[in-house]
Amino acid sequence: MDNLDQLEQQSVYIFREAFRHFERLCMLWSIGKDSTVLLWLARKAFFGHVPFPLVHIDTSYKLPEMITYRDKLALEYKLTMIVGQNADAIKAGRTFPATQHLPDGHPDKVSRLECCGLLKKDALANTLNGVWPRQKLNLKTGRYELDPDRAPYHGVIVGARADEEGSRSKERYFSPRDKNSAWDIGEQPPEFWNQFKTDFAPGTHVRIHPLLDWTELHIWEYIKRENIPTVSLYYDQGSGTRYRSLGCGPCQAPIQSQAKNVDQIIDELKSGKLKNIAERSGRLQDGKHGLEELRREGYM
Amino acid sequence: MTVPARDQMSIVIVGHVDYGKSTVVGRLFADTGSLPEGKLEAVRKECARTGKPFEYAFLLDALSDEQDQGITIDTARSFFKTAKRDYIIIDAPGHIEFLKNMISGAARAEAAVLVIDAKEGIRENSRRHGYLLSMLGVRKIVVAVNKMDLVNRDKAHFRKIESDFRSFLKSIGSPDPEQFIPISAITGENLSNPSDQMLWYRGPTLLSALDQFEKAPAKGDRPLRFPVQAIYKFAAEGDDRRIVAGRIESGRVKVGDRVVFSPSNKSSVIKNIEAFNAPTRHTIEAGWSTGFTLTEEIYITRGELMTHETAPPLVSTRFRANMIWLGKKPFEKNKDYKLKIHTQAVSVRLIEINKLVDATSSGEQGTRPFVGRHDVADVTVETRQPIAFDDISQGEATARFVVVDGYDIAGGGIIIAAEKDNQENFREEARLRDFHWIKGGVTAAERGRRFGHPAALVMFVGKTGVGKHRLARAVEKTLFESGRAAYMLDGTNVLLGVDSDMIWAQSTQQELVRRFAEVAHLLLDAGLLVVSTTNAIGLADVASVQALIPDFPVLTVEIRGEGGISSADMHLTGQETELDSAQKVTDLLTSRQILQ
Ligand SMILES: Nc1nc2c(ncn2[C@@H]2O[C@H](COP(=O)(O)OP(=O)(O)O)[C@@H](O)[C@H]2O)c(=O)[nH]1
Q: How many residues would you count in chain B?
A: 596
Span A41-68, mean pLDDT? Answer: 92
Span A90-118, mean pLDDT? Answer: 86
Q: Which of A193, A226, A292 sits opposite B108 (nearest CB)?
A: A193
Looking at per-residue confidence, does B438 or B36 come out higher? Answer: B438
Closest CA to A17 of A38, A37, A46, A53: A46
Span B471-479, mean pLDDT? Answer: 95
For residue B184, give the ligand 1 atom closest to its CA: 27
Q: What is the overall mean pLDDT for chain B?
A: 88
Write down the CATH superfamily of domain B449-591.
Answer: P-loop containing nucleotide triphosphate hydrolases (3.40.50.300)
Find the CATH number of the domain harbouring A148. Answer: 3.40.50.620
Instruction: Please give the pLDDT value at position A56.
Output: 95
Span B549-566, mean pLDDT? Answer: 88
pLDDT band at residue B36 under the 50/70/90 scheme? low
pLDDT band at residue B68 under the 50/70/90 scheme? very low
Amino acid, res. B460: F
User: A109-113 contacts: CB < 8 A, separation 24 or more?
Assistant: A112/A251, A112/A284, A112/A285, A113/A285, A113/A287, A113/A290, A113/A294
CB contact under 8 A, A200 and B88: no
Question: Same CATH fold, B220-308 and B7-211?
Answer: no
| Cβ partners under 8 Å of residue A87, min gap 6 | A132
Calculate how far, in angstroms, residue B24's C-alpha sits from the geometric centre of ligand 1: 8
Span A91-97, mean pLDDT? Answer: 87
Q: What percent of chain A has pLDDT over 70?
A: 85
Residue A44 lies in a domain: yes
Whether residue A185 is predicted with pLDDT greater than 80 in this model: the reply is: no
Span B299-304, mean pLDDT? Answer: 94
Range 166-205 of B in CB contact (< 8 A) with A: none
Domain ranges of chain B: 7-211, 220-308, 316-421, 449-591
Whether residue A265 is predicted with pLDDT greater than 50 in this model: the reply is: yes
Instruction: Please give the pLDDT value at position B591.
Output: 95
Strand partners, B331: B371
**Mutation test of the interface with chain B: which of A8, A47, A224, choosing the one with the most B Cβ atoms within 10 A?**
A47
The minimum CA-CA distance between B549 and chain A, rounded to whole Å, is 27
Looking at per-residue confidence, does B433 or A31 come out higher? Answer: B433
pLDDT band at residue A177 under the 50/70/90 scheme? confident
Burial B550-587, CB ≥16 within 10 A → b, else e: bbbbbbbbbbbeeeeebebbbbbebebeeeebbebbbe
Span A39-48, mean pLDDT? Answer: 96
Whether residue B92 is predicted with pLDDT greater than 60 in this model: the reply is: no
CATH topology classification for B7-211: Rossmann fold (3.40.50)
Number of domains chain A contains: 1
- Tens digit of each residue's pLDDT (9 = 90 or more) over B404-448: 999 999 999 999 999 988 899 999 999 999 999 998 999 999 999
Instruction: Please give the pLDDT value at position A167.
Output: 43
Residue A228 lies in a domain: no
Q: Other CB atoms closer than 10 Å to residue B504's CB: what's the count?
A: 10
Whether residue A169 is predicted with pLDDT greater than 50 in this model: the reply is: no
Whether residue B284 is predicted with pLDDT greater than 70 in this model: the reply is: yes
CATH number of B220-308: 2.40.30.10
Strand B179-182 and strand B266-274: pairing?
A: unpaired
Residue A186 lies in a domain: yes
Instruction: Please give the pLDDT value at position A279.
Output: 62
CATH 2.40.30.10 matches B316-421:
yes
Looking at per-residue confidence, does B235 or B519 come out higher? Answer: B519
Whether residue B260 is predicted with pLDDT greater than 60 in this model: the reply is: yes
Instruction: Please give the pLDDT value at position B397.
Output: 92
Of A103-117, B302-316, B328-342, B406-420, minimum mean pLDDT range: A103-117
Instruction: Give Cα separations from B315 to A174, B174, B391 (angstroms).
Output: 30, 27, 11
Span B177-204, mean pLDDT? Answer: 94
Burial A192-222, CB ≥16 within 10 A → b, else e: bbbbbbbbbeeeebbbbbbbbbbbbbbbbbb
Whether B260 and B312 have beta carbons less than 8 Å apart is answered as yes
For residue B150, give the ligand 1 atom closest to its CA: 1
Whether residue B243 is predicted with pLDDT greater than 60 in this model: the reply is: yes
Span A111-137, mean pLDDT? Answer: 91
* Burial of B509: CB neighbours in 10 Å, binned 0-12, 13-18, 19+: middle
- The answer, yes or no, to whether ipTM is higher than 0.95 is no
Whether residue A190 is predicted with pLDDT greater than 50 in this model: the reply is: yes
Looking at per-residue confidence, does A76 or B220 come out higher? Answer: A76
Looking at per-residue confidence, does A151 or B78 come out higher? Answer: A151
- Tens digit of each residue's pLDDT (9 = 90 or more) over B351-389: 999 988 765 544 455 567 899 988 889 999 999 999 999
Q: Does B101 lie at the interface with A, CB-CB under 8 angstroms?
A: yes
In short, whether B15's Cβ falls inside 6 Å of ligand 1 is: yes
Span B73-98, mean pLDDT? Answer: 64
Span A59-68, mean pLDDT? Answer: 86
Span B235-239, mean pLDDT? Answer: 79
Span B325-348, mean pLDDT? Answer: 95
Q: Does B217 lie at the interface with A, CB-CB under 8 angstroms?
A: no
Whether residue A222 is predicted with pLDDT greater than 90 in this model: the reply is: yes
Whether residue B471 is predicted with pLDDT greater than 90 in this model: the reply is: yes
H/E stretch holding B49:
helix B39-50
Q: What is the overall mean pLDDT for chain A?
A: 85
Q: Which of A20, A51, A172 sits opposite B104 (nearest CB)?
A: A172
Query: Domain range spanning residue A15?
Result: 3-214
Q: How far apart are CA B222 and CA B215, in angstroms?
A: 17
Whether residue B82 is predicted with pLDDT greater than 80 in this model: the reply is: yes
Residue A68 lies in a domain: yes
